[in-house]
Protein backbone atom coordinates (compact mmCIF):
# COMPACT_ATOMS: atom_id res chain seq x y z
CA UNK A 1 0.00 0.00 0.00
CA UNK A 2 1.01 3.58 -0.52
CA UNK A 3 2.71 4.99 2.54
CA UNK A 4 5.14 7.59 3.78
CA UNK A 5 7.28 6.66 6.75
CA UNK A 6 8.95 9.48 8.63
CA UNK A 7 11.98 9.51 10.88
CA UNK A 8 11.73 9.67 14.64
CA UNK A 9 11.34 12.50 17.08
CA UNK A 10 14.14 15.01 17.53
CA UNK A 11 15.17 17.34 20.34
CA UNK A 12 17.42 20.20 19.31
CA UNK A 13 18.94 23.26 20.90
CA UNK A 14 18.28 26.74 19.54
CA UNK A 15 20.56 27.50 16.62
CA UNK A 16 20.98 23.87 15.63
CA UNK A 17 19.70 22.14 12.49
CA UNK A 18 17.34 19.22 12.02
CA UNK A 19 16.89 16.92 9.05
CA UNK A 20 13.69 14.89 8.79
CA UNK A 21 13.31 12.02 6.35
CA UNK A 22 10.21 10.67 4.62
CA UNK A 23 10.49 7.30 2.90
CA UNK A 24 7.90 6.53 0.26
CA UNK A 25 6.70 3.10 -0.78
CA UNK A 26 3.91 1.56 -2.83
CA UNK A 27 4.05 4.01 -5.73
CA UNK A 28 6.40 5.46 -8.33
CA UNK A 29 8.24 8.07 -6.27
CA UNK A 30 9.23 10.27 -9.20
CA UNK A 31 5.65 10.64 -10.43
CA UNK A 32 4.62 12.91 -7.54
CA UNK A 33 5.83 15.78 -5.45
CA UNK A 34 6.26 15.93 -1.71
CA UNK A 35 4.99 18.79 0.40
CA UNK A 36 6.07 19.44 3.97
CA UNK A 37 3.55 20.81 6.44
CA UNK A 38 4.11 21.61 10.11
CA UNK A 39 1.82 22.10 13.06
CA UNK A 40 2.87 23.90 16.23
CA UNK A 41 1.27 22.69 19.46
CA UNK A 42 -2.42 23.57 19.51
CA UNK A 43 -2.17 25.43 16.20
CA UNK A 44 -3.28 24.93 12.62
CA UNK A 45 -1.47 23.58 9.60
CA UNK A 46 1.37 25.56 8.02
CA UNK A 47 2.72 24.70 4.58
CA UNK A 48 6.51 24.80 4.49
CA UNK A 49 7.35 23.93 0.93
CA UNK A 50 7.24 21.46 -1.93
CA UNK A 51 9.71 19.45 -3.94
CA UNK A 52 9.23 17.66 -7.22
CA UNK A 53 10.56 14.13 -6.91
CA UNK A 54 10.82 14.10 -10.70
CA UNK A 55 13.34 16.91 -11.18
CA UNK A 56 14.10 18.30 -7.72
CA UNK A 57 12.41 21.66 -8.31
CA UNK A 58 11.45 23.32 -5.07
CA UNK A 59 9.07 25.99 -3.82
CA UNK A 60 9.42 27.23 -0.26
CA UNK A 61 7.20 29.31 1.98
CA UNK A 62 8.56 32.82 2.02
CA UNK A 63 8.92 32.94 5.81
CA UNK A 64 11.27 29.95 5.73
CA UNK A 65 13.37 30.98 2.73
CA UNK A 66 17.04 30.74 3.59
CA UNK A 67 16.50 28.37 6.51
CA UNK A 68 14.88 25.36 4.83
CA UNK A 69 16.17 22.95 2.21
CA UNK A 70 14.17 20.09 0.71
CA UNK A 71 15.85 17.30 -1.21
CA UNK A 72 15.09 13.85 -2.51
CA UNK A 73 17.05 10.66 -3.04
CA UNK A 74 15.33 8.82 -5.87
CA UNK A 75 17.51 5.72 -5.36
CA UNK A 76 15.83 5.16 -1.98
CA UNK A 77 12.51 6.97 -2.64
CA UNK A 78 13.19 9.25 0.28
CA UNK A 79 12.51 12.94 0.74
CA UNK A 80 14.32 15.12 3.24
CA UNK A 81 13.56 18.41 4.91
CA UNK A 82 16.37 20.28 6.66
CA UNK A 83 15.62 23.29 8.83
CA UNK A 84 18.52 25.39 10.13
CA UNK A 85 18.98 28.03 12.82
CA UNK A 86 16.23 26.48 14.88
CA UNK A 87 14.20 28.65 17.24
CA UNK A 88 11.75 27.75 19.96
CA UNK A 89 8.84 28.59 17.65
CA UNK A 90 10.00 25.85 15.26
CA UNK A 91 8.77 23.34 17.84
CA UNK A 92 6.10 21.44 15.95
CA UNK A 93 5.02 18.20 14.36
CA UNK A 94 6.40 18.03 10.84
CA UNK A 95 4.47 16.10 8.19
CA UNK A 96 5.39 15.04 4.69
CA UNK A 97 2.57 14.46 2.22
CA UNK A 98 2.33 13.15 -1.32
CA UNK A 99 1.50 16.13 -3.49
CA UNK A 100 -0.70 15.16 -6.43
CA UNK A 101 -1.27 16.92 -9.71
CA UNK A 102 -4.17 15.12 -11.37
CA UNK A 103 -5.13 16.14 -14.88
CA UNK A 104 -8.54 15.47 -16.39
CA UNK A 105 -8.82 16.98 -19.85
CA UNK A 106 -7.88 20.62 -19.45
CA UNK A 107 -8.51 20.69 -15.68
CA UNK A 108 -5.71 20.43 -13.17
CA UNK A 109 -6.50 19.14 -9.68
CA UNK A 110 -4.04 19.59 -6.83
CA UNK A 111 -4.21 17.91 -3.45
CA UNK A 112 -2.24 15.90 -0.88
CA UNK A 113 -3.60 12.40 -0.60
CA UNK A 114 -1.16 10.42 1.54
CA UNK A 115 0.48 11.74 4.69
CA UNK A 116 3.24 10.55 6.94
CA UNK A 117 2.44 10.12 10.63
CA UNK A 118 4.52 13.13 11.57
CA UNK A 119 7.84 13.82 13.25
CA UNK A 120 7.92 15.81 16.48
CA UNK A 121 10.72 18.35 16.60
CA UNK A 122 11.29 20.04 19.93
CA UNK A 123 13.59 23.05 20.16
CA UNK A 124 14.65 23.78 23.69
CA UNK A 125 17.72 24.93 25.53
CA UNK B 1 -1.38 35.81 -1.23
CA UNK B 2 -4.81 34.27 -0.97
CA UNK B 3 -6.10 34.04 2.59
CA UNK B 4 -8.65 31.38 3.52
CA UNK B 5 -11.01 32.19 6.38
CA UNK B 6 -12.94 29.33 7.91
CA UNK B 7 -16.08 29.75 9.97
CA UNK B 8 -17.25 29.08 12.52
CA UNK B 9 -14.17 28.43 14.58
CA UNK B 10 -16.02 25.83 16.60
CA UNK B 11 -19.25 24.02 15.77
CA UNK B 12 -21.05 22.26 18.64
CA UNK B 13 -23.44 19.62 17.36
CA UNK B 14 -24.92 16.28 18.34
CA UNK B 15 -24.46 12.98 16.50
CA UNK B 16 -26.99 12.70 13.69
CA UNK B 17 -27.10 16.45 13.08
CA UNK B 18 -25.98 18.21 9.91
CA UNK B 19 -22.72 20.17 9.91
CA UNK B 20 -22.07 23.03 7.53
CA UNK B 21 -18.54 24.43 7.44
CA UNK B 22 -17.56 27.52 5.49
CA UNK B 23 -14.31 28.47 3.78
CA UNK B 24 -14.06 31.94 2.29
CA UNK B 25 -11.15 33.04 0.09
CA UNK B 26 -9.81 36.59 -0.12
CA UNK B 27 -9.66 36.23 -3.93
CA UNK B 28 -11.33 33.91 -6.39
CA UNK B 29 -9.98 30.36 -6.29
CA UNK B 30 -10.26 27.78 -9.02
CA UNK B 31 -12.56 25.04 -7.77
CA UNK B 32 -10.11 22.38 -8.91
CA UNK B 33 -7.52 23.86 -6.53
CA UNK B 34 -9.66 23.61 -3.36
CA UNK B 35 -9.42 20.68 -0.96
CA UNK B 36 -10.70 19.75 2.50
CA UNK B 37 -8.95 17.71 5.16
CA UNK B 38 -10.00 16.15 8.45
CA UNK B 39 -7.64 15.90 11.39
CA UNK B 40 -8.23 14.01 14.62
CA UNK B 41 -6.11 14.54 17.75
CA UNK B 42 -2.68 12.97 17.45
CA UNK B 43 -3.21 12.02 13.82
CA UNK B 44 -2.08 13.34 10.47
CA UNK B 45 -4.61 15.15 8.31
CA UNK B 46 -6.71 13.02 5.96
CA UNK B 47 -7.87 14.14 2.53
CA UNK B 48 -11.67 14.30 2.32
CA UNK B 49 -12.51 16.39 -0.73
CA UNK B 50 -10.52 17.62 -3.71
CA UNK B 51 -11.62 19.79 -6.61
CA UNK B 52 -14.09 21.43 -4.19
CA UNK B 53 -16.61 18.59 -4.58
CA UNK B 54 -14.92 15.27 -5.39
CA UNK B 55 -14.69 12.79 -2.53
CA UNK B 56 -11.34 11.14 -2.00
CA UNK B 57 -11.05 7.37 -2.06
CA UNK B 58 -12.87 5.71 0.81
CA UNK B 59 -14.62 8.84 2.07
CA UNK B 60 -18.26 8.19 3.04
CA UNK B 61 -20.95 9.92 1.02
CA UNK B 62 -22.21 11.83 4.07
CA UNK B 63 -19.30 14.19 3.31
CA UNK B 64 -19.90 16.61 0.45
CA UNK B 65 -18.21 19.71 -0.83
CA UNK B 66 -19.59 22.58 -2.86
CA UNK B 67 -18.92 26.15 -3.86
CA UNK B 68 -17.01 28.25 -6.32
CA UNK B 69 -15.18 31.53 -6.61
CA UNK B 70 -14.58 32.74 -3.06
CA UNK B 71 -17.12 30.69 -1.11
CA UNK B 72 -16.81 26.99 -0.43
CA UNK B 73 -18.69 24.67 1.90
CA UNK B 74 -18.08 21.28 3.46
CA UNK B 75 -21.25 19.54 4.57
CA UNK B 76 -21.52 16.47 6.76
CA UNK B 77 -25.10 15.29 6.31
CA UNK B 78 -25.42 13.27 9.55
CA UNK B 79 -22.63 13.39 12.06
CA UNK B 80 -21.22 10.10 13.18
CA UNK B 81 -19.19 9.85 16.41
CA UNK B 82 -15.97 9.51 14.40
CA UNK B 83 -16.61 12.79 12.54
CA UNK B 84 -15.86 15.00 15.53
CA UNK B 85 -12.54 16.49 14.52
CA UNK B 86 -10.90 19.60 13.06
CA UNK B 87 -11.48 20.39 9.39
CA UNK B 88 -9.21 22.46 7.19
CA UNK B 89 -9.73 23.88 3.74
CA UNK B 90 -6.69 24.37 1.53
CA UNK B 91 -6.05 25.99 -1.81
CA UNK B 92 -3.27 25.80 -4.34
CA UNK B 93 -1.95 29.07 -5.72
CA UNK B 94 1.17 30.44 -7.34
CA UNK B 95 2.92 32.18 -4.48
CA UNK B 96 2.76 30.62 -2.00
CA UNK B 97 2.07 27.29 -3.65
CA UNK B 98 -0.61 26.45 -1.12
CA UNK B 99 -2.34 27.85 1.94
CA UNK B 100 -4.58 26.43 4.64
CA UNK B 101 -7.53 27.94 6.39
CA UNK B 102 -7.41 28.25 10.14
CA UNK B 103 -9.64 25.25 10.73
CA UNK B 104 -13.09 24.52 12.14
CA UNK B 105 -13.43 22.26 15.14
CA UNK B 106 -16.56 20.13 15.18
CA UNK B 107 -17.21 19.13 18.76
CA UNK B 108 -19.86 17.09 20.52
CA UNK B 109 -22.60 19.22 22.03
In 3-state terms, what secondary structure has residue B104? Answer: strand
Average pLDDT over residues A3-14: 98
Average pLDDT over residues A1-24: 98
B95 interaction partners in chain A (CB closer than 8 Å): 62
Rounded to whole angstroms, the Cα distance separating B62 from B80 reads 9
Q: Express as a percent the part of chain A with pLDDT over 90.
A: 96
Q: pLDDT for A57-71, tens place per residue? A: 999 999 999 999 999
Q: pLDDT for A84-122, tens place per residue? A: 999 999 999 999 999 999 899 999 989 999 999 999 999
Q: Is B47 on the interface with A (CB under 8 A)?
A: yes
At B37 the pLDDT is 98
At B1 the pLDDT is 86
- Answer whether B44 sits within 8 Å of A111, measured CB to CB: no
At A15 the pLDDT is 98
Q: Phi first, then psi: what are they for B96, rounded to 5°?
A: -75, 165
Q: pLDDT for A17-54, tens place per residue? A: 999 999 999 999 999 999 999 999 999 999 999 999 99
A112 interaction partners in chain B (CB closer than 8 Å): 35, 37, 45, 47, 90
The secondary structure of B32-83 as a DSSP string is: GGEEEEEE-TTS--EEEEETTTEEPTT--TTEEEEEEEEEEEEEESS--GGG
Rounded to whole angstroms, the Cα distance separating B99 from B90 reads 6
Write the CB contacts of B70 (distance below 8 Å, at least 6 apart in sequence): B24, B25, B26, B27, B28, B29
**CA angle, residues B75, B10, B59, in degrees to nearest 5:** 35
User: Which among B35, B51, B88 is the nearest to A44, CB-wise?
Assistant: B88
Rounded to whole angstroms, the Cα distance separating A67 from A84 reads 5
The 8-class DSSP code of residue A88 comes to G
Rounded to whole angstroms, the Cα distance separating A70 from A58 reads 7
Segment-wise mean pLDDT, segments of 10 residues, chain B, 109 residues: 95 98 96 97 98 97 98 98 98 87 97
At B96 the pLDDT is 78
* Length of chain A measured in residues: 125
- Answer whether A95 sits within 8 Å of B44, measured CB to CB: yes
Nearest by Cα to A21 from A95, A98, A78: A78
Rounded to whole angstroms, the Cα distance separating B93 from B72 reads 16
Rounded to whole angstroms, the Cα distance separating B106 from B108 reads 7
Amino acid sequence: QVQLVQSGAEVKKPGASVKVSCKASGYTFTSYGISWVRQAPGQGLEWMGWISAYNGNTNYAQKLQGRVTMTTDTSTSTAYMELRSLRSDDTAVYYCARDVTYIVGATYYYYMDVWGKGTTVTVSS
Amino acid sequence: EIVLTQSPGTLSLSPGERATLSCRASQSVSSSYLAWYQQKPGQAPRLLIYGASSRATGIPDRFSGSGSGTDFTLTISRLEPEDFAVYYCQQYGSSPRLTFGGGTKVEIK
